[in-house]
Amino acid sequence: MKIFIFDPLWPKLVDEKLEAKLLPLNAEIIVVSDVKPLSETKELYEGNEDRLLCLNPDYVGWKLNNDDYKDIPNLKAILTASTAFGWIEQDIATERGIQIVNIKNFSTEAVAEWAITMMLNLTRQTPRLIKNDFPLDYDEDFMKYRGMQVKGKRAGIIGLGHNGVAIAERCKGLGMEVVYWSKSSKNDNYIEVELSELMSTADVVFPTFAKNDETNALITDELLESAKSSAIIVDIIELEPIKNKVLAMVKEDKLFGYGFEAKPKSFNEFEGNVWAAPAYGWVTYESMYNSEVKLVENILSAVKGEFPNRVN
């Protein structure tokens, strides 16, 4: 078997201890870290050996087309170094029975901490202070930029998966009352409420559910309009259907603040108390290393013909 690893971070993140786990494999391992089209690695398309294609999505610009892998012979699986897998066109995989495998829960703690970072900055109106170069008029600015303390406030978690629970734990640790709505998960450590109650009573709302056609429409305009004008929405899942509505509500002082993932260098483009930063939520030493640990675990399983994290 041949194992092809296309990952620009591999030399920087993978240490000897992790590499040692792959040494006993009866397989040839080819690591390509210099980013270039897959087609330029001729060996990938030659020979009759079974092979695995392991991809950091950054290597292919978060897009793997059918044409990129349709001519790879005896391809058994595509292993991603990411939780997301929608960037892989799957027609050829379906046609040829190629397994698509992702990694799970490698950055839960980092993402939860980033969500809390966003919340705390929004409660203290840090985005507005940054955009206005931290003015300090004792009579006017102290009143204008008053924040709110989080202790005693209500945090509403929509979706109680790994990220939702990790955020809930941190909110509770800060002295917040935590309520949640979830389609399937239950947790006696927090208070379960209807979605309408959560949206109308929470001081900070955290959408954390998995996105699909059904859940994209979960938070309606009516629910948003029921939120308190003092409420904050912290969106770690890039919930595009609500973005424009929420931005308008913050601009019109119908919401206190909004945090979401935005394109680079756009922080100052949004009016009001809006935290608009790129997808840095998962970027810690621990989670980045853990992503490679999870990928190596999937490689070890795939060599044995096992695909516990198969997504297709």
Burial class (CB in 10 A: 0-12, 13-18, 19+), 56: buried
Task: Please report, to the nearest 10 degrees, the dihedral formed by the alpha carbons of residues 111, 113, 115, 121 taken in order.
Answer: -150
Per DSSP, helices labelled H in 23-179 are: 66-69, 91-96, 108-123, 126-131, 141-144, 162-173
The class that CATH gives domain 2-106+285-303 is: alpha beta
3-state secondary structure of 265: coil
pLDDT at 247: 97
Q: What is the pLDDT of residue 214?
A: 82
Q: What pLDDT shows up at residue 136?
A: 86
Angstrom distance (rounded) from CA 170 to CA 178 = 10
Residues of the chain with CATH 3.40.50.720: 2-106+285-303, 108-277
Give me the CATH code for the 108-277 domain, please.
Answer: 3.40.50.720
Q: What is the pLDDT along the chain (312 residues), one digit of tens a residue?
A: 999 999 999 999 999 999 999 999 989 999 999 999 999 999 999 999 999 999 999 999 999 999 999 999 999 999 999 998 999 999 999 999 999 999 999 999 999 999 999 999 999 999 999 999 998 887 788 889 999 999 999 999 999 999 999 999 999 999 999 999 999 889 999 999 999 999 999 999 999 998 888 888 899 999 999 999 999 999 999 899 999 999 999 999 999 999 999 999 999 999 999 999 998 999 999 999 999 999 999 999 999 999 999 999
- DSSP secondary structure, 43-67, as one string: GGGSSSS-EEEEE-GGGGTT-B-HH
